Amino acid sequence: MFEVPQWAFEFHGHECPFMPIGYRMGTLALEKLGVSRSKNHEMHVFSEMGIAHPQGCMQDGIMASTSATFGKGLIEKLYYGKVAATFWYPGKGAVRIALRNEFSDSLSPHEFFKYRKKGIEPSDIPNDVRQDIINMVLRATNEELFNVKMLPDFEYEPPKGSFNKAKCEVCGEYVFERYLRVKDGKKVCISCSGHEKDEFTRPKVK
Ligand SMILES: [Zn+2]
Ligand SMILES: [Zn+2]
């Protein structure tokens, strides 16, 4: 049976089946690409998950097993609403791993989801119900869990990093250079520029 370290559950915050699915997905990606977890800035993950749907927990599992973390800028979302991700590693290529429909269907009748659909959060679901569905994930083979496709033509160039920063001429706070904007001839941060949209959609703060 596959083992997910306890610290990964602690990091994630609750016990659910999708964090372990992501953990296994990341572990399989490391195997397929012949690499170990990313100490620095090696692997880059493109998660196909979106917002406002379940199963996003998968991404914490991916981060835990690969160390391709949000903080290091190594995982981003494509917003396709699929339980799938592409893993790219410099010099090693890329692999896309998707949860099989069959496995997804085998989980859905489980009692765990009866609680979830009633709005009960995973940490409030009885422990034996949680453990039972997690064990389904840990007992399954990689073949039962995933469709795997090597992507020999996948190309990716990570954005070039820079330490350069400057002070916004309005609020005075430091801004990394690529986020400086020019407004009325002044170099300003995005908040002070009044730009509504830039590289991502920010929540509106009133
Ligand atoms: Zn979860
Ligand atoms: Zn500013």
Q: What is the reported pLDDT for 159?
A: 85
How far is the centre of ligand 2, averaged over its atoms, from the C-alpha of 124 (Å)? 43
- Say which ligand is closest to the CA of 175: 2
Q: What is the reported pLDDT for 52?
A: 80
As a whole number, mean pLDDT of residues 31-58 equals 94
| pTM: predicted TM-score of the whole model, two decimal places | 0.90
pLDDT digits (tens, 9 = 90+) for 95-144: 999 999 999 999 999 999 999 999 999 999 999 999 999 999 999 999 99
Q: What is the reported pLDDT for 168?
A: 96
- Average pLDDT over all residues of the chain: 93
With vertex at residue 22, the alpha carbon angle to CA 18 and CA 24, rounded to the nearest 5 degrees, is 115
**Calpha distance 55→21 (Å, rounded):** 9
Q: Which residues surround ligand 2, an ion (CB under 5 A)?
A: 168, 170-171, 189, 192
How far is the centre of ligand 1, averaged over its atoms, from the C-alpha of 56 (Å)? 8
Report whether pLDDT(15) > 60: yes
How far is the centre of ligand 1, averaged over its atoms, from the C-alpha of 57 (Å)? 4
Report whether pLDDT(24) > 80: yes
Confidence tier at 43 by pLDDT (50, 70, 90): very high
In DSSP terms, which residues pair with 165 in a beta bridge? 176
| Percent over 90 (pLDDT), the chain | 86
Q: Map out the domains of the chain with their CATH numbers.
A: 6-150 (3.30.1330.130), 160-206 (3.30.60.20)
Integer angstrom CA distances of residue 84 from 37, 62, 159, 162: 19, 11, 23, 31
